[in-house]
Structure 1
Amino acid sequence: MSAYTRLLFACFSLVSLMGCSEPQKDTDIRSRGFIYCGQDTPTIFNPQLTDGGLTTDTLAAQIFDRLLVLDPVSHQPLPGLARSWSISDDGLEYTLALRKGIEFQNTDWFTPTRQLNVQDVIFSFKRVIDPSHPFFNISGGRYPWFESLAFDKLINDIVAIDSHTVKFILSRPDNSFLSNLATSYAVIYSQEYGQQLLQAGQLNQLDMKPIGTGPFYLDQYIPNDLIRLKRHWGYWQGAAPMDQMVFDISSRGTGSLAKLLSHECDVLSSPIASQLSVISDNSEFELMAQTGMNVSFLALNNNKPILQDIRVRKAISFAINRDNLLDSVYYGTGTKAKSMLPPMSWAYNHKSQALDFDPEEAIRLLKEAGYDNKLTLSMWVPTEPRPYNPSPRKTAELIQANLQAIGIQVTMSHQDKLDRISMGEATSFDLILAGWIADNGDPDNFLRPLLSCNAKQVGLNIANWCNLDFDNLLELALRTSRLDQRLNYYHRAQNILDQQVPLIPLAHGVHFQVHHKSLGGLQMSPFGTRSFSSVYRSE
């Protein structure tokens, strides 16, 4: 059944967020909106509680706004809900002036009585960092992205200067702070809505029936089927041209491509590389590409005694033929990764000494370590395509063959979806195929959330690796305001990764998106987030 047809029957679903609208109103969705395919099913609508996926990459940009946004070219913070900011000389106080006249969304479950003010900002961030906040433990009480940055330790306090001026007081200087406020995790909620739910004893609804200031509000959610957003007429940057948009979350892969070609979908996110030629040959569609701030990597579980031997870790890296991965998985669209940082990062180390394909050296190191033809490892493999890895299953099979060639047998466990919380709770794997899409342009965003000792402590460093020298370099890089010093610290941190091999960078992917040519105003971002506030239909 197509998404168009499903919309007509959505009112009969018990999990619908709203009462049924008249069926005939949905028959002309193509003239009033569009359907977006190719994403996973969210488990929650609050990006603060997630570690990537549809909620963070796409939904958050429609429902919520942030204090700041990122310039897609320079990667520098720009005004968002905050119109301006200032930083104290010691780098410990950030004062932001909020815009006035910002309206929250009006839905069947909430009618705002006031506009955005400083209390909404304090409410949104203290929910994440303050254990005494009434919503801190709701929906599991885990904030993976914030936890990996030790955000609660960074923020000493958040205070209201007046109704539209907020001050963040830090425990130490942090040059990435403004960039972090611009990520899709740092969304602003309505304190008034939170208070209403608190009085009604319905705290969980904050995350399942969200209220933000974004261009669209959540209207309907049917798990494993569809999500419908409606236009927020009071949006502060002007109401979106489209009345609604629908996420078809019922299938992936070739199923989504078939829906695109049969006009059941208007937009397809992240088509896999093997589909690009079919799309390019069809004059009805336009293919967009964005060089991504991302990396695909193989994490090595450094808690395992076998993988604590650096010779084994280096042998695995030497065994992997990255050029073959680019040809067979990325179809020439990706870039071989020599570092966790992509080449477009200003801190990329062009003199990286990362290990390259050398199976003979891999065999020698294994023999030296005493594992000559005697080693079996387990690998967890996600099946969901992502911009950094268009075909994880195929990638895993190629790595399995590479390792078998040097005497390492690999058993694979396929998972529909893996995030760092679920992986942090798992202890049996040796290897995990994973990846990362940057949330902002700061190098710290690649290194700290994935590899810091704090990320390991909170169970989000899936390589289970901690190196105090590495952490110290990251701290020094955040504390200095001199760009040349920051660059030196990040290069030295990358050198440690090259030498210690806690994980193996594989490739940097290109993010593709295809849409029907009748749609205009679609945008792409190197950080995966994209707002549909300017999308329109020309025919």
Structure 2
Amino acid sequence: MSAYTRLLLVCVSLASLIGCSDDPQQDSDIRSRGFVYCGQDKPTTFNPQLIDGGLTADTLAAQLFDRLLLLDPVSHQPLPSLAIGWTISDDGLVYTFTLREGIEFQTTDWFTPTRQFNAQDVVFSFKRVIKPDHPFHSVSGGRYPWFDSQGFANLIEDIEVVDPLTVRFTLSRPDNAFLSNLATTYAVIHSQEYAEQILRAGKPDRLDSLPVGTGPFYLDSYQANDFVRLNRHEGYWLGAAPMEQVVFDIASRGTGTLAKLLSNECDVLSSPVASQLPIISADDDFNLNAQTGMNVAFLALDNNQPELSDVRVRKAINHAINRENLLNSVYYGTGTKARSILPPMSWAYNHGSQALDYDPVKARTLLKEAGFEKNLSLTLWVPLEPRPYNPSPRKTAELIQADLNAVGVKVDIIIQDTVNRFSAIDKFNSDLILTGWVADNGDPDNFLRPLLSCDAKQAGLNVANWCNLSFDNLLELASRTPKLNQRLNYYHLAQDILDTEVPIVPLAHGVHFQVHHRSLEGLQMSPFGTRSFSTVFRRSEI
């Protein structure tokens, strides 16, 4: 059954869905009014503040919410969005933002706004995250992994309303990445008025399951493991989107995503498997786009495990993995071998890196020195979902398993459906975790801090469970200094520590592919994964 058919059946049975016709025949032209997006991921929440990646952070958030700032996809510099301008004090501690006037919040079945966006909404959205005594802080579990990994609660000393269209952030220390962080997909703005309404009703969790934002589309309906339907926000400040609706097909049953694309059940396919690219390229009905991504696939080594606390074992694992083989067999030549957690396009990339190369003989020697010549057994946690940094995680895991087996290390693979880093730690106590990262902005801090800092270990994003105070101190120095050459030196020294300590094994940097039907125009791609559908339209059939 197609996504369209499923949607029409739901429209018939659920009277609460906005815009659904009682007569399925009247919805037969759904593709002229919208489009269907296929991906492998499923949302666990509609609030990106609560997660560290996936469909909500990568795609849904950009449709539902706006942020104070955006990032230029080329220069990676912050651009105005809900904030039209800002000033920074001479000491780098006070940021004052002038907000855009006339921004309308979405009207939904569950909320009708009575006022426009103002400074109170900004203060609410961030204080919820950083203030433990805030009435919404503990709602939906009270975990804000990305913000916690950045140490946001310690960084932001105060947020205050200056006037309805001016908001002031006071920091506890200078932070060169602060503006870029406000432009990330996690720094979304919620409606304080809506929050107060549901708090009075005793249903605060609705903030995360029934969202209200200022974005180009609002949530119309959601069927778990089936579809998410968004409708056009007619009052969007940049003008109503050309398309009336967007349907996310998240069903895992039935045919695969490629089959859905080729049979016109889907209009857009994100992150197709690399082996599918020749089939797609040969079909004139589809356009294949590529974006060099700010991303990395890596193998995290749990430093809390006794065997992996020995740096010789960690180095042996690094030496054992044949990255060239991964590039040929998994990425089909589209990826780049990773020698650092930072991609080569980062301005802080250390081209003089002393990262370890493939050397199985050296790997066996190090294992023997550590007392694990033939008796080391490890578990490897692997998500199934293809991601821009890893188009085929299962195949990657099997190749790593074979490489480690060749040097005498037995590996048991644990397969999971979703990319949930917390389950790897909390449920399975895995030794090795196959994961990765898509940068939220162009600052090198966005790779190093949320993945490997001591704060990130506490937050749960640092799945290597590695904490090094010298490394953290270098990140702090880099965030405080206004001199670019000094920042570069600090980041190079931080990467030298990673080369020496090997808490993770960088594997590859992937290319993000996206396929869409040739009738669609206006689809955007970004090195940071986020993309708004506010400019998408469909040409008449050609």
**Which TM bucket (shorter chain)?**
over 0.9
CA distance in structure 2 between the partners assigned to 1:17 and 1:118 by the alignment:
32
**In the alignment, what sits opposite 1:8?**
8
Q: Tell me, yes or no, if the aligned pair for 1:424 and 1:460 is still in contact at 8 Å.
A: no
Q: TM-score, normalised by structure 2?
A: 0.97
SS in 2 for 1:423: helix
- 2:140 match: 139
One-letter code of the match for 2:361? Answer: E
Q: 1:11, 1:132 → 2: CA distance? A: 41
Q: Deviations over 1:367-388 (max 9, x none)?
A: 1111111111111111111110
Cα RMSD for the two superposed structures: 1.5
**Which residue number in structure 2 is paired with residue 376 of structure 1?**
377
Contact 1:425 1:459 in 2 (8 A): no
Aligned counterparts of 1:390 and 1:435: Cα–Cα separation in 2: 11
Q: Does 1:351 align with 2:340?
A: no
Alignment-mate amino acid for residue 319 of structure 1:
A
SS at match of 1:152: helix
Show the counterpart of 1:482. Answer: 483
CA positional deviation for 1:458:
2.9
SS of 1:42's equivalent in the other structure is coil
Aligned to 1:379, what secondary structure does the other structure show?
strand
TM-aligned CA deviation for residue 256 of structure 1: 0.6
Question: 2:381, 2:424 within 8 Å by CA — same for their partners in 1?
Answer: no
1:27 and 1:37 map into 2 onto residues whose CA distance is 19
Deviations 1:403-440 (A, max 9, x none): 01101011111111132332342462111111011111
Amino acid at match of 2:117: L
**Rounded Cα–Cα distance in structure 2 between residues aligned with 1:13 and 1:436:** 40
Match of 1:46 in 2: 47
Structure 2 counterpart of 1:506? 507
Structure 1 counterpart of 2:88: 87
Q: What's the offset of the Cα at 1:198?
A: 1.1
Tell me the residue number matched to 2:391.
390
Offset of 1:158 from its aligned partner?
0.2
1:34 counterpart letter in structure 2: F
Distance in 2 (CA, whole Å) between partners of 1:253 and 1:484 is: 54
CA distance in 1 between counterparts of 2:191 and 2:203 reads 15
Change (3 A) 1:90 1:182: same
1:395 and 1:324 map into 2 onto residues whose CA distance is 10
Question: Structure 1 counterpart of 2:8, which letter?
Answer: L
Q: 1:52 to 1:113 in 2, by over 3 A?
A: same
- Contact kept, 8 Å, 1:253 with 1:272, in 2: the verdict is no
- Cα distance in 2 between the residues matched to 1:343 and 1:213: 35
**What secondary structure does 1:218 align onto?**
strand
The answer (yes or no) to whether the contact 1:290–1:526 under 8 Å persists in 2 is: yes
**Between 421-430 and 99-108, the greater mean CA deviation after superposition:** 421-430
Task: Output aligned runs, 1:63-212, within 5 Å.
Answer: 63-212=64-213
- Report Cα offsets for 1:224-276 as digits up to 9, x if no partner: 11111111110001110011110010138971110110111100010000000
Give the 3-state SS of the residue equivalent to 1:131 in structure 2.
Answer: coil
How much identity, in percent, do the aligned residues show?
72
**Letter aligned with residue 3 of structure 2:** A
- Tell me the residue number matched to 2:262: 261
Residue 277 (str. 1) matches residue 278 (str. 2): yes
Match of 1:518 in 2: 519
Gaps in structure 2 of 5+ consecutive residues = none
1:107, CA displacement in angstroms? Answer: 1.1
Provide the rounded CA distance (Å) in 1 between the counterparts of 2:360 and 2:469: 31
- Give the aligned partner of residue 286 of structure 1: 287
Mapped to 1, the partners of 2:69 and 2:19 lie a distance apart of 35
Tell me the matched-pair count: 539
Q: Does the aligned pair in 2 maintain the 1:15–1:222 contact within 8 Å? A: no
CA–CA distance in structure 1, aligned partners of residues 16 and 300 of structure 2: 39
Helix, strand or coil at the partner of 1:158: strand
Where structure 1 has 5 or more consecutive residues not aligned to the other structure, the ranges are none
Q: Distance in 1 between matches of 2:332 and 2:13?
A: 41
1:469 aligns with 2:481: no
- Please, which moves more after superposition, 181-190 or 250-259? 250-259
Question: How far is the alpha carbon of 1:14 from its aligned partner?
Answer: 6.8
Equivalent AA in structure 2 for residue 212 of structure 1: G
Deviates more, 1:247-256 or 1:296-305: 247-256
Distance change >3 Å, CA 458–CA 116, structure 1 → 2: same
Mapped contact 1:153–1:171 kept (Cα < 8 A):
yes
Which deviates more, 94-103 or 369-378? 369-378
Query: CA 1:446 to 1:15, structure 2 compared with 1: closer, same or farther past 3 Å?
Result: farther
Shift of 1:200: 1.2
Q: Distance in 2 between matches of 1:14 and 1:452?
A: 47
